[in-house]
Amino acid sequence: MWESKEIKSVEETYYDDYIISKAKKLHKERKNNDFMKSARLIGEVIGYLNQYIGDEYFEYRVRHLIMNGVFEIEGVPKAMRFYSVRLKYE
């Protein structure tokens, strides 16, 4: 028997805290706050979800977090392989 799946709508910022927590985890594992490839961060986020959401969406959110001052950027943000990010600490 097929199980019915329901699609739920959420705010576009829904995964922002999750993205930030994954960045904190990666910084802690590396024992530093150096820049990490954005593709590495996005891969970490996607790898632990129990549903499929495209990497384009998560890159869109990372870029918004950069614009909102959560992340610092190094490189050119034309594609995720061309730039790195790190959490901005005050």
Give which of 87, 73, 90 is closest to 28, Cα–Cα: 87
User: 56 near 17, Cβ under 8 Å?
Assistant: no
Q: Give how many domains the chain has, as a whole number.
A: 1
Task: With cut-offs at 50, 70 and 90, classify the pLDDT of residue 83.
Answer: very high
Provide the 3-class DSSP secondary structure of residue 38. helix
Task: Read off the pLDDT of residues 57-73 as tens digits, 9 standing for 90 and up.
Answer: 999 999 999 999 999 99
Task: Read off the pLDDT of residues 20-77 as tens digits, 9 standing for 90 and up.
Answer: 999 999 999 988 889 999 999 999 999 988 888 899 999 999 999 999 999 999 999 8
Task: With cut-offs at 50, 70 and 90, classify the pLDDT of residue 89.
Answer: confident
In a domain, 66, yes or no: yes
In a domain, 47, yes or no: yes
Q: Which domain holds residue 46?
A: 16-87
Entry pTM: 0.88
In a domain, 1, yes or no: no
User: 37 near 80, Cβ under 8 Å?
Assistant: yes
In a domain, 22, yes or no: yes
In a domain, 3, yes or no: no
The domain that holds 33 is classified in CATH as 1.10.10
In a domain, 11, yes or no: no
